[in-house]
Structures are given as C-alpha cells and as structure tokens.
Amino acid sequence: MTSQDETTTGGWTEPKATALLILADGTIFEGVGFGAVGTSVGEVCFNTAMTGYEEILTDPSYSGQIITFTFPHIGNVGTNEDDIETVNMAAATGIRGVILHAPITDPASYRATGHLGRWLERRGIVGLGGIDTRALTALIRDKGMPNAVIAHDPDGSFDREALKAQAAAWHGIVGTDLVPEVSTRQRYEWTETVWTLGDGYGQQTAPQHRVVAIDYGVKRNILRLLADAGCAVTVVPATTGLDEIMALKPDGVFLSNGPGDPDETGKYAVPVIQGLIENSVPTFGICLGHQMLALAVGAKTMKMHQGHHGANHPVQDTGTGKVEIVSMNHGFAVDPATLPASARQTHVSLFDGSNCGIALNGKPVFSVQHHPEASPGPRDSHYLFRQFVDLMTADKAAKTQPTT
C-alpha cells in the first residue's frame, strides 16, 4: 500500500514531490519542500560558498533571485540574530527561494539560536531540497541564469501548466529597478562596529570623519567596517538628492551594494554621483555602487551569463599585482572596454577577466565590484576601507592648508 506521501511507479515506491522548480523553458526539478508554503518567481543563480549561508540569505543584493547552494550541507550551524546582513528587515525576504541538495540537519553550533528551516518559514522563503544541485548548476553554466517558479505544497498538489506559464511570463531582472524594495525609507545614524569574540559588536564613540552612505541595499558589515575605521555614518535612502547629501557636510560618500538592473537604478542615482564627482567629494562604491560610479562616468554595464556568486573568487589588484580571495555577488558587470580616459581599471577577476574595480584620475573616487566586508580571505580586502579613510584625511588636510 502506498502512503499519502508516496507514489508507486514500476514496482518502486518513491516519495511524493512536495516542492518543484519549474524553469521558463518548462524544465522541472522535483524535490522535498521546506521553509514557507507557497510559490515564488525569480531568477535562479548558484552560489559556491561553503559557509555564510545566513549572510547570503539576508543580503539585499539577492533580491529577485532563487539561490542554489552548490555546497551540499547547508543549515548545519543553524541561524542567529548576529549574522543577519540586511538593515531593512523587510528586505530579509527579498530573495525568492532557496535550493539545497541535502536535508537540513539540527543545528550544531554554540552560536545557533534557531533552525534554518523554521527561520525560512518565518520569513516567507520557499525552499526546495533533495534535488541534484550539480545538474542545475551545470544547466546554469551552459544556458545562463533562468527565470523560474519555485513552489512548495505539503500535499504535493501542483498545477504544473499554470506554474510553467507563470515562469515563462515573468519579466525578469533585466530592466527592473529592485532598489526601492530594499533601500531604507528614512535617514538614520550608524555607530555599531565589528564583532569580536567574547565582546560581540562594539560602538564608535570618537569618529574622525562623517560619511554619508547611500543605501541601494546596504549590508550591515559594510556599515560596521566604516564605523570601525573611524567614521560617523549617516545612511540615506537611494533616491536622496545631491543638495540634501551636501547639506550633511560629508567628508566622504559611500555607494552601497544592491540588487537589480544598474541601468534602471542609474536613472536617479547617476546624476547624484556625477555631482559628487564634480565637487571632488571622496567617494567609495561597492557592488551596485561600483556599477553606478561606472555609469556616472559614461561606461556601460552588461548582464552576465551566470554571474559571480561565491566566496572563493580570486581578484587581482592591477597596481600592485596582489591577488585577493574575495566574496562576489553580482549578475551584471562593468564593460571595461567602455571606460573613459578619466577612469582606470584597478581590479580584475582571475576567473574570467571581468572588471572588478575602477578609480578616477585626479579625483578621490574609486569603487570595487567585490565585497571586501565579507572577509573570505579572510581580510584580504579590508585595506579598501582604510584607503577610503586616507582619501578623506588627505582631502580635509588640503582644505585646511592656508592659501598663498
């Protein structure tokens, strides 16, 4: 006899699928559901990181995407409140789904305060497990990141044709501005510094510089490292105008990471950044902020075939020759062939030669595509925050020198 959760085919008894991933071309992956019950549509990507799944699942830059983890054992160390990266908690559900190979086990970490499956359920994130994630990863490598629907029903009752139509009809990320879904809606101050064993997070009480951080979907650890470097940080919404930013009298401006098509976000972000460049305000960008800076100087961005998502990416500093192991999360890249003479390439990916950093000639302005705050190296790229501080220090010193 076959139970309610099983079907019999050709003499074999198999578990009944309680979750599906249906790609826009009609390809179906069947597995076991976990997390929230329901359906969600998004772009499927794969992430090769072996650790940091909670940080990945709360990174606002993943808004609009269904994340496939290539590492088979995800969830073993549970979840906690310290490793959440989003500041805007509404953005914690910006991702559209999560795909795993192995079942989620009970937590085995002294830092754990919860189980990943229940954590996903509370946040409304649909999960699919028990599939061949290698096959899905190979598909993405061959065909690019597909649009898809992920669905979870404990009874295994699915209208597959309707789900196929939903996946095929989704507009996708190209041409979509996702920043309004994740950016803060009001200005706030940030003083929390980095975490240390035994002490937790600290506070910046004696800042040397005032930084305005434009929030396109900023991660907490970026703000912590800015504060730790001696900055009083004021975070402002993505649509904040140049006059309002300049009225805060910043020593420097930070352009944050974020999701979506940079061309769409650039419609309101680029004029502000161009104004900062014209005023020679020390400026530092990461991820989407890097792409915004490139657009502001006249370069172009392009959609990547499979994107870069992982914590093992080698990036070379073109000035020093140093190779850094970095964290990546982006589906668009700056086209280095379109960089103007006023900008130079400072970092390049050793995986595929794509652009990973620029600096403006004669201006205290630079940016990187990778995430120096994520610390996979573990701290190979932390010097970038010191570089930003050095630019602010030099700029302030130049302004206070007497004129002759």
Question: Going by C-beta distance under 8 Å and a sequence separation of 6 or more, which residues neighbour residue 164?
Answer: 22, 26, 149
Rounded Cα–Cα distance for residues 247 and 129 (Å)? 50
Rounded Cα–Cα distance for residues 290 and 367 (Å)? 5
Q: Is 330 a catalytic residue?
A: no
Question: Going by C-beta distance under 8 Å and a sequence separation of 6 or more, which residues neighbour residue 66?
Answer: 21, 40, 42, 43, 44, 45, 95, 96, 97, 98, 99, 148, 150
Catalytic residue among 287, 313, 330, 347: 287
Rounded Cα–Cα distance for residues 215 and 232 (Å)? 15
Q: Is 373 a catalytic residue?
A: yes
Rounded Cα–Cα distance for residues 111 and 208 (Å)? 33
Measure the CA angle with vertex 66, ends 62 and 68; round to 5°. 105
Count Cα neighbours of 157 within 13 Å in the Cβ-side half-sphere: 2
Chain position carrying tokens 């979840």 = 79
Which residues partner with 148 through β-bridges? 23, 42
Q: Is 371 a catalytic residue?
A: yes
Catalytic residues: 287, 371, 373
